[in-house]
Amino acid sequence: MRISYTGPHRAVTVPALGLTAERDRPIEVPDDLAAPLLDQPDWAAVKPAAKDSRKEAS
């Protein structure tokens, strides 16, 4: 699952993941580790980028 830290600090260390998450930069984490982070107000799920469904005219 892709999540992003959205809190007030520039970055936070996440010991369970062994990394530092920078604000507004999505990270990929296992679902079981993402769930408790998303329960906190400073984390958000990142939606996949929308695919462009327009077809080029020939």
Express each pLDDT in 12-36 by its tens digit: 999 999 999 999 999 999 999 999 9
Q: Is pLDDT of 58 > 60?
A: no
What predicted TM-score, i.e. pTM, was given to this entire model?
A: 0.78
Q: How far is CA 20 from the centre of its chain?
A: 13
Q: Measuring CA to CA, how many Å separate 39 from each of 6, 31, 32, 52, 58? A: 13, 12, 12, 31, 48
Q: Is pLDDT of 41 > 90?
A: yes
